[in-house]
Amino acid sequence: WRFFAPNPGVQNVHLLVRDTKAGDAQPSPWRDVTPEVPHGWTQVIWNPASRGPKALFDAMQQLSVMSANQAGFTWVTQSVPYQLVFSASRASAAAD
């Protein structure tokens, strides 16, 4: 939950990825690569580690809005939110 916002977030989103290797017929199983935000008493006052996951959360929410508004596939794939989510998923997959 994100309380201090004009529209507080009340849903969790997860970024799921799966890999395909050259020559493989089947992709790998789905993996959750959603970044974790540390929780504790100090994070109530100061939590700079939440900024990256928050940006990713906002981008995924924007993609959801685009999908609900039936935006064209080409337009969506060239949007900033898509590029951010795409980059985050590739970076997470490469780190594994």
Q: Are 88 and 15 in contact (CB under 8 A)?
A: yes
Please report, for the chain, the start and end positions of each structural domain, with discontinuous segments joined by +: 16-95
C-alpha to C-alpha distances, 82 to 27, 79, 94, nearest whole angstrom: 21, 5, 18
| The Cα angle at residue 29 between residues 56 and 25, in degrees rounded to 5 | 120
86 phi, psi to nearest 5 deg: -60, -45
Highest mean pLDDT among 11-20, 45-54, 76-85: 76-85
pTM: 0.67
Tens digit of each residue's pLDDT (9 = 90 or more) over 23-79: 778 888 998 888 777 677 776 677 676 677 778 888 888 888 888 888 888 888 899
